[in-house]
Amino acid sequence: MVADMFRTRRHPLDKPFPTADPVDNTVGATTTTVYTYGDDLYEAMLEAIRGARRYVFFETYIWKGDEVGARFREALSEAAARGVDVYVVYDGFANLVVPSSFFRFGPDIRVLRFPWVRPGVLLSPVRESGRDHRKILVVDDEVGFVGGYNIGSLYARHWRDTHLRLQGPAVWELRNAFVDFWNRWRTPQLPVLQDVGSTAWLPQLRAARNAPSDLVFPIRNIYLDAIDRATSHVQITQAYFIPDREILAALLGAARRGVDVRVLVPERSNHVVADWLARGHYATLLRGGVRIFLYTGAMIHAKTATIDGRWSTVGTANIDRLSLTGNYEINLEIVDPDVAATLERVFEMDLGNSRELTLDAWESRSRLNKVGERLVSPLAPLL
């Protein structure tokens, strides 16, 4: 924490960075839109809420009580006032620093505060300690949003993140995820949401949902399966990259068979411990032929990947233990060349704000950094 304080003062994450306009693609009967800038995304989300006629499902990990957070609060309240059914989920632990009064809505808005301490955490820490790290908005079965963006002014202009909008039948994937979570964790005072099922099947666009209470962790599996299939290139963007043994082996195996494997991470993230734990893998990755790129001057928080120009994922899960075997998460898995091409262009854009880390440069890093990495290495099972 002390190191992080000094690092933040010396290297504030406040530099401008390139962004792209929202880009649409069609997958089956569903239109997807990729967002890379918070202001663009928030305007689209608020427009959807303001246009709601029947219901709004809103779920977020962090919801700041600032100007942007207040705009969302106001839009949800206005929707409820005109007769829209509004359901809100937020994580209690992630918002401990936000005044509790901010989350006091009128009786016409149903609010589920995901508890930060739950019974059984000591007996079953894997099942009961995970946070609700998901970010979902669904409106009227017509439009849905999912991705890395939390809600707040910081994320609107100062963090590079990626979010996806769905319009069409595949919105059911996000609706179903919200309904299942709500019904699993609602209190007796909150109503049961109806599970409507879906007559539309879109195998090339599906949601993978981690549910630690049920020991279900499919997001890790979709990564492993996709990396094992790679024959040309792998492009991964992660805010916190602490791969477990199997994912590390899969990436090294792909590089050995000639796949161009590239991993883009922040040069400095907002969590110094996560950075130092991630760096514990850099030597192994670089020696194994994986290329590492460091995003400079700003925080990149995206959780995306593309493989071979065909397979893509956008969602809320980082490649670390907390996300892949700990938290409630959701990632969309998309097999579509147009979506992959869009995300590859975003990756190239982000490389323009990055520097490649070479093995020689890494091995010549300061002794202080090496000591720090060694000191925090016992924390790896926690992150």
Task: Give catalytic residues, as residue numbers.
Answer: 133, 135, 140, 301, 303, 308
From CA 17, how far away is CA 29, in angstroms rounded?
Answer: 33
Tell me phi and psi for residue 263, to 5 degrees.
-125, 125
- List Cα–Cα distances, 3 to 8, 10, 11, 227, 269, in angstroms: 9, 11, 12, 35, 13
Give the other-Cβ count within 10 Å of 197's Cβ. Answer: 7
Give the other-Cβ count within 10 Å of 160's Cβ. Answer: 25
- By C-alpha distance, which of 28, 5, 17 is closest to 206? 28
One-letter-per-residue 3-state SS of the chain:
CHHHHHHHHHCCCCCCCCCCCCEEEEECCEEEEEECCHHHHHHHHHHHHHCCCCEEEEEECCECCCHHHHHHHHHHHHHHHCCCEEEEEEECCCCCCCCHHHHCCCCCEEEEEECCCCCCCCCCHHHHCCCECCCEEEECCCEEEEECCCECHHHHHCEECCEEEEECCCHHHHHHHHHHHHHHHCCCCCCCCCCCCCCCCCCCEEEEEEEHHHCECHHHHHHHHHHHHCCCEEEEECCCECCCHHHHHHHHHHHHCCCEEEEEEECCCCCHHHHHHHHCCHHHHHHCCCEEEEECCCEECCCEEEECCCEEEEECCCECHHHHHCCEEEEEEEECHHHHHHHHHHHHHHHCCEEEECHHHHHCCCHHHHHHHHHHHHHHHHC
